[in-house]
Amino acid sequence: MTIPATSADATALLGVYARVGPLFVAGEGSELIAEDGTRYLDFVAGIAVNALGYNSPVIRDAVLRALDIGLIHVSNLYRTEPGERLAAELTKAFAGQAFFCNSGAEANEGAFKFARKWSKKTDIVAFSGSFHGRLFASLAATDRPDYRRPFEPLLTGVQIVPLGDVEAAQHAITADRTAAVIIEPVQGEGGVRPVPAEFLAFLRERSDACGCALIFDEVQCGLGRTGTLFASEQTGVTPDMYTLAKPLGGGLPMGAILVSDAIAAALAPGDHATTFGGGPFVATVSLDVVRTIAEPEFLAAVRAKGAWLGDRLRRLAATTARVREARGRGLMWGLELNEVAAPIVAVARERQLLVLTAGPNVMRIVPPLTVSREDLERGVTILAEVLA
Ligand SMILES: Cc1ncc(COP(=O)(O)O)c(C=O)c1O
């Protein structure tokens, strides 16, 4: 690996990100490398994208093979093999059909359209703490009024109901209006909150009774992050649609909607489309990423490392007054603090540990799924020092 010389300048980039810290020029395993050669232990992983770590041999090989095929892009007007194989792989785990797009928000927007066409109804129910993306419908279903306000009016007919409140959900989800209910089985941006299985089971029952589509947004918690291919597997509840993105393309832009056979039957050519979705280059890489993650030994290793990490974080919470609670699944953890999390995240970065926030007082930890036990131990030691 060579570290390139840089002459970068951010002034021409639109200022919608509050970018911090050094200029990163390379990465290896669970580490990002800055231009001065300093190595940062990365428990952000591109916000739960880089599941296989940096400079992964799996992704390198897949990219080279994808180049050898000679097709970066072919229009979705024609058939190509990689997307068909990827759809077959994903639908081994969820009976139905796959639609490929380019991001998580796009996957959710598509899922809302599919729900409307199938149900012949219009409204959407989402939950407090939710994050579903930054486009006009996905933002309307996102419980961040500060993100929404400057861009209103957004999609109308979207209700945000308190998470876990059965009575409120019963009232909001109706047979005459509700097209879709969308929920993250483990909320990410909203503070790393695993949703109780009983609440998901209630939503399944209510959606069936009302003829609306239950969408599990597993953009962040899906594809091995919690130690099973889908986070919802651990709850025994199956949705009508899954939305996926983040790790799906191994770092290339890639999203997917997995659609039940019943909803797929309501969709016809022309109902939805995107130029780039599931093109042969990205689908070749994505297939290897999905196959790697879906290996039982890979998922068992995520569960084992996650159990170890969870145990250490809970101990940290029990012994540090600044931490209120540790919660999570697999390699997706949040430390709820008794104070604002951003300054602690900044101090951790000064000590070469990258973590991020999830709402105002939660510190989020989402390392590559390939992270070693030693790197986890190193990261927890730094966190303990920062919080001491
Ligand atoms: C659960 C969830 N859904 C949707 C999105 C939006 O994904 P994207 O940023 O790829 O549009 C995110 C992004 O953080 C997410 O965490």
Is the model's pLDDT at 215 over the cut of 90? yes
Average pLDDT over residues 30-34: 98
| Crossing angle (nearest 10°) for helices 81-93 and 280-294 | 30
Looking from the CA of residue 188, the nearest atom of ligand 1 is: 16
Looking from the CA of residue 189, the nearest atom of ligand 1 is: 16
Q: State the SS3 of the chain.
A: CCCCCCCCCHHHCCCCCCCCCCCEEEEEECEEEECCCCEEEECCHHHHCCCCCECCHHHHHHHHHHHHHCCCCCCCCCCCHHHHHHHHHHHHHCCCEEEEECCHHHHHHHHHHHHHHHHCCCEEEEECCCCCCCCHHHHHCCCCHHHHHHHCCCCCCEEEECCCCHHHHHHHCCCCCEEEEEECCEECCCCCEECCHHHHHHHHHHHHHHCCEEEEECCCCCCCCCCCCCHHHHHCCCCCEEEECHHHHECECCEEEEECHHHHCCCCCCCCCCCCCCCHHHHHHHHHHHHHHHCHHHHHHHHHHHHHHHHHHHHHHHHCCCEEEEEEECCEEEEEECCCCHHHHHHHHHCCEECEECCCCEEEECCCCCCCHHHHHHHHHHHHHHHC
Is the model's pLDDT at 8 over the cut of 80? no
Structure tokens at 387: 């919080």
Cα–Cα distances in Å, from 189 out to 199, 237, 246, 352, 366? 19, 22, 13, 23, 12
- Cα–Cα distance, 275 to 295 (Å, whole number): 31
| Crossing angle (nearest 10°) for helices 296-319 and 280-294 | 70
- Could you tell me whether strands 323-329 and 332-337 are parallel, antiparallel, or unpaired per DSSP bridges? antiparallel
Looking from the CA of residue 221, the nearest atom of ligand 1 is: 1
Distance 68 CA to ligand 1 centre (A): 31
Task: Among 103, 219, 242, 254, say which to mutate for ligand 1: greatest number of ligand atoms within 8 Å of CB.
Answer: 219
Distance 358 CA to ligand 1 centre (A): 13
Task: Among 246, 248, 357, say which to mutate for ligand 1: greatest number of ligand atoms within 8 Å of CB.
Answer: 246
Distance 131 CA to ligand 1 centre (A): 7
Nearest Cα residue to atom 8 of ligand 1: 104
Distance 143 CA to ligand 1 centre (A): 13
Is the model's pLDDT at 3 over the cut of 90? no
Q: Which residues line ligand 1 (CB under 6 A)?
A: 47, 103-105, 108, 131-133, 184, 188-189, 217, 219-220, 245
Nearest Cα residue to atom 4 of ligand 1: 132
Is the model's pLDDT at 1 over the cut of 70? no
Q: What is the pLDDT of residues 34-64, one digit of tens each?
A: 999 999 999 999 999 999 999 999 999 999 9
Q: Which CATH class is domain 59-294?
A: alpha beta
Distance 48 CA to ligand 1 centre (A): 10
Distance 359 CA to ligand 1 centre (A): 14
Q: Is 0.95 topped by the overall pTM?
A: yes
The model's confidence at residue 2, banded by pLDDT at 50, 70 and 90, is low
Average pLDDT over residues 172-178: 98
- Cα–Cα distance, 130 to 183 (Å, whole number): 7
The model's confidence at residue 21, banded by pLDDT at 50, 70 and 90, is confident
Average pLDDT over residues 106-127: 98
| Crossing angle (nearest 10°) for helices 57-69 and 280-294 | 150
The domain segmentation of the chain, as residue ranges, is: 10-55+296-387, 59-294
Per the prediction, the chain carries an average pLDDT of 97
Q: Cα-atom radius of gyration of the chain, to the nearest Å? A: 21
Average pLDDT over residues 308-334: 97
Could you tell me the fold of the domain covering 10-55+296-387? Aspartate Aminotransferase, domain 1 (3.90.1150)
Task: Among 49, 109, 132, 254, say which to mutate for ligand 1: greatest number of ligand atoms within 8 Å of CB.
Answer: 132
**What confidence score (pLDDT) does residue 57 get?**
98
Is the model's pLDDT at 383 over the cut of 70? yes
Contact of 359 with 342, CB cutoff 8 Å: no
Angle at 107 between CA 244 and CA 85, to 5 degrees: 60
Distance 269 CA to ligand 1 centre (A): 27
**What confidence score (pLDDT) does residue 96 get?**
96
Locate tokens 């879906």: which residue?
294
Distance 255 CA to ligand 1 centre (A): 10
Task: Among 16, 47, 131, say which to mutate for ligand 1: greatest number of ligand atoms within 8 Å of CB.
Answer: 131
- Cα–Cα distance, 271 to 259 (Å, whole number): 14
The model's confidence at residue 9, banded by pLDDT at 50, 70 and 90, is confident
Q: What is the pLDDT of residues 146-164, one digit of tens each?
A: 999 999 999 999 999 999 9
**What confidence score (pLDDT) does residue 27 get?**
98
Q: What is the pLDDT of residues 230-247, one digit of tens each?
A: 999 999 999 999 999 999
Amino acid type, 76: N
**What confidence score (pLDDT) does residue 7 get?**
67
The model's confidence at residue 217, banded by pLDDT at 50, 70 and 90, is very high
Is the model's pLDDT at 10 over the cut of 90? no
Residues facing 259 on adjacent strands: 97, 241
Looking from the CA of residue 187, the nearest atom of ligand 1 is: 1
